[in-house]
Amino acid sequence: MIILMMGAQGTGKGTVAGLISESTGIMQLSTGDVFRKNIKEQTPLGVEANKYISKGELVPDDITVPMVVGFLDSDMAKNGVILDGFPRTLEQAEKLDEILAQRGKKVDLVVNLTTPREEIIERILTRRVCSNQNCKTTYNIKLNPPKVEGICDKCGAELVQREDDSSEEAVNKRLETYELKTAPLVEYYAKKGVLRNEEVSARINRMGKEVAQDIIKDLR
C-alpha cells in the first residue's frame, strides 16, 4: 500500500505517519528527516538541500526524486510505504504516478491534514525533536512536553529545536511556499478519489493520535 501524508508544516504529518507505521508495519519515509540527517553530516546532498531549506524554499526535484525512487526500490518498501513530505508539487505528483506505474503500483490513500495557521505557527516554534536519529520522537513544550525538560522520554537523548523551526519569519515563508505549490495537490488527488481530509486542531479537541487511530481502523 502506498500512503501519502499531506498538510502544511506543523499539522502533525510525522506524528500521524509514525503511528500508522507502528501499527501496520508499513515503512515511513520522511524526506525532511533524510534531508536533516544529510545536512548534519554535511554530505553533498545535505549541502545542496540546505541552500534551499534554510531559506524556506522547496528542495529541487533533481535532489529529491532520486532519493525517493531509491527508497521505493529498496527492501524496506516491499510491504508499502508512507511518504511524509513528498510529493510537494504537481510535477512531483505526476512523476511519482509515473514511477509507481512502471512498478505496477499506485497511490492508494492520501491523508490531508489541516490546522489553523496561527496554531501551526505556535506549534512549530514550540516544537522540539529528539536528537537521536534512531528515535526522532517529536514533542511540543506546551502541548506535549517531555517528563524531564530537554530530555526525550523514550531514549534519554537531548531534545533540540530544528534550525528551520526557530524563526517565525522562516515558518511563514514555508507556509506561503506550501500554499502556493503544494495545496493544489489536494484537488489533484481529490479527482483521483483517494483523498481523505482530516482537521487536526486543539480548537476541536482532535489531535494526531485520534486521527491516526481512525485511519488505522479503516485500513484493517
pTM (two decimals): 0.79
Q: Strand, coil or helix: what is 111?
A: strand
Integer Cα distance of 201 and 54 in angstroms: 27
The C-alpha cell that represents 196 in the structure block: 481523505
pLDDT score recorded for residue 109: 97
| Cβ atoms < 10 Å from Cβ of 146 | 17
Beta strands in 60-212 (DSSP E): 81-84, 109-114, 127-130, 138-140, 159-160, 195-199
pLDDT score recorded for residue 40: 83
Q: Which amino acid makes up residue 205?
A: N
Active centre residues (catalytic): 13, 88, 127, 162, 174
Residues in a beta bridge with 81: 2, 27
The strands making up 159-160's β-sheet, listed across from edge to edge, are 138-140, 127-130, 159-160
Digitized pLDDT (tens) for each residue of the chain, 220 residues in all: 999 999 998 898 988 999 999 999 999 988 877 787 778 888 887 898 888 888 878 788 888 888 788 788 888 888 899 999 889 889 999 999 999 999 999 999 999 999 999 999 998 999 999 999 888 888 999 888 999 999 999 999 999 998 878 888 888 888 888 888 888 899 999 999 999 999 999 889 898 899 999 999 999 8
Domains annotated for the chain, with CATH where assigned, are 2-116+169-219 (3.40.50.300)
Q: Which amino acid makes up residue 39?
A: I
